[in-house]
A = this chain, B = another copy of it.
């Protein structure tokens, strides 16, 4: 994967925007000592090249009684590539499944799941998840406290 297209300024832009999507080009320009139309051009380029994929507003999950988070690990009975892809394609269609990672280790997938209550959790697991093909063992844990949630990936300087 070629990443030499990005220079130091591009990386700085990505670092800053990962922390605050609403920084204006003028604010970026001030921090990076360039003109604001330069920032406009660079940010547009980063979008066009696919480095920037979108932006999201973050909300305080604790203000909503209906948001209970569970992490569920799934082990399939069939570990063939077809079975893994088939499961993946099905499970990501459930709106309760916010995140789905194919992982190394004893389990094949790690799912981040949101439910509004235990009834919703039970319904998802018993009626939807467990009914998918090849699903072997499941192991779930619920989030008691979210101590940290940093969405900005640390980017290495280009040498």
Residues of A within 8 A of B (CB): 1, 3, 14, 17-22, 50-67, 69, 71, 88, 91-92, 95-107, 109-110, 114, 116, 139-156
Contacts and interface: CB of A to CB of B under 8 A. Distances in A.
Given A103-B142, A110-B141, A110-B143, 18 more contacts: A17-B57, A18-B58, A20-B55, A53-B59, A55-B58, A58-B151, A64-B155, A66-B155, A91-B147, A95-B154, A98-B149, A99-B148, A101-B146, A102-B144, A103-B141, A104-B141, A105-B140, A151-B151
A3 B151 CA distance: 26
A18 B56 contact: yes
Q: Which 10 A-B pairs have the closest CB atoms?
A: A105-B141, A17-B57, A21-B55, A103-B141, A102-B145, A92-B148, A100-B148, A100-B147, A21-B57, A98-B150
A145 B55 CA distance: 21
20 contacts: A1-B64, A3-B63, A14-B59, A18-B57, A20-B54, A21-B56, A51-B59, A52-B58, A56-B58, A58-B151, A64-B153, A66-B155, A71-B103, A98-B148, A99-B148, A101-B147, A102-B143, A109-B147, A110-B143, A151-B151
A99 B151 CA distance: 8
Given A141-B103, A153-B67, A50 B60 contact: yes
Contacts of A103: 71, 141-144
